[in-house]
Structure 1
Amino acid sequence: MSLRVFILGNLCERNHHPYDVKKMLKGDNMEDVQKINDGRLYYNFEVLLKQGYIEKIEVTREENRPEKTTYGITEAGRKALEEEIYTAFKNFKDVKSLYSSTVFLKHADPVKLAFLIEEAIQKLQNAINRNVEDWKIIGLKTPLNVHLVQEHSLNYMELEVSFLKKLLAFVRGELTAL
């Protein structure tokens, strides 16, 4: 999961304070995927601000409380969000690495996304095929516990392909229900 994508995506929806974003991470159970501490969250806001992807909208201070800065996204930030989404799919490692990008798919071109998802499916399918072929050679020589690991590995990769196919159908507007 990309914290940058999560921040930019939420700022596309409306202006937020970093603490609001942290609450959304917890509320969407995204924090289970990637633990976020305050230092890392505020650091990412500062980096995005320096890059010109976000801007300070308002600074308020309530009695006996620290300053509270609300941020909004810039046009450069909207373009960066779109590119970060494409990059996540281009560099596909596993489905968990796509969580933030999947949440904010509406900020990217569906045709380009479909192409990138098809590439990720093919990449994963090739890995499955190589794994199966390799197993045909070494499978007879391995103990049962290694067979269990192999079975789990293949099942996991097939589950990932299944998710990507559903995501592709969604992006194409073909998915009507789960």
Structure 2
Amino acid sequence: MSIQIFILSKLMEDNNYPYKLKKQLSEPIPLDQLGGLTESKLYYHFDSLAKQGLIETVEIVKEEHRPDKQIFTITAKGREELPKKIYKLFENADKISDMVVGLASIKYVDREKVVEILEKKLKKIKDHWEQITNFEKQIQIDKEHEKFAEFMSGYVSTRTEHTIYWLEELIKRIKQREI
């Protein structure tokens, strides 16, 4: 879904074609390689978006000794669907790294709605963490498993506190329009 959001967001700015988007993703940092985005995957998503009626070919550029270039534009339906896809991405994200494309496209959605989604996510994490810590207090751990339990407890608490901190920081920065 994030590839489709990326494509739709780029088409909101200007008409474009798959190979050019792939090049934009690879410079200066090879985000395409880091994300495992191949040219065939990109073309697949362009085709999928076209079949959904979210984008359409606006021009075909013919060049000598090169394949034809299909230039795409976003449709009215695509403009309507983009925010829905972005909200869904935030709702389904398990961690902030899953939200990167949504954050990069935040100008196409209502920030307050994104904040609401993230605050619900934060509350769920905090409630779950509270349940775990209350449960942890009730468990008796024998000597044999004490070190293992300490390790796991430290790992889970550090990770959860880290997640809570950065989610709170993200919410704050969205509210302050820094992101």
Structure 1 counterpart of 2:159: 156
Whether the 8 Å CA contact 2:60–2:68 is kept in 1: the answer is yes
Superposed displacement of residue 135, structure 1: 3.4
RMSD: 2.5
Once the two structures are TM-superposed, the CA of residue 42 in structure 1 deviates from its matched residue by: 0.7
Contact 2:122/2:168, CA 8 A, preserved across alignment = yes
- Give distance in 2, aligned partners of 1:175 and 1:133: 36
Render the CA deviation track for 1:129-163: whole Å, top value 9, x for unaligned.
23333433458343535543443333233222222
Note closer, same or farther for the CA distance 1:80–1:169 as it changes in structure 2 (3 Å cut).
same
Is the Cα–Cα contact under 8 Å of residues 14 and 72 in structure 1 kept in the other structure? yes
Q: CA deviation at 1:84?
A: 0.9
Give the 3 Å change call, closer, same or farther, for CA 174–80 of structure 1 in structure 2: closer
**Is residue 131 of structure 1 aligned with residue 128 of structure 2?**
no
What is the percent sequence identity of the aligned residues?
27
Which residue number corresponds to residue 20 of structure 1? 20
What's the CA shift for 1:2? 1.4
- Unaligned regions of 5+ residues in structure 2, if any? none
Alpha-carbon distance in structure 2 between the residues aligned to 1:155 and 1:130:
16
Partner of 1:6: 6
TM-score (norm 1): 0.84
- 1:138/1:20 CA distance change after superposition, 3 Å: farther
Q: How many residue pairs align between the two structures? A: 176
Q: Distance in 1 between matches of 2:97 and 2:46?
A: 22
Question: Equivalences for 1:93-172 in 2 at 5 Å?
Answer: 93-138=94-139, 140-141=141-142, 142-145=145-148, 147-172=150-175
Paired residue secondary structure (2:23): helix
- Would you say the 8 A contact 1:33–1:96 is kept in 2? no
- The alignment's TM-score, normalised by the length of structure 2, stands at 0.83
Indicate conservation of the 8 Å contact 2:54/2:77, yes or no. yes
Say which one has the larger Rg.
2
> Which structure 1 segments of 5+ residues have no match?
none
Tell me if structure 2 keeps the 8 A contact 1:166–1:175: no
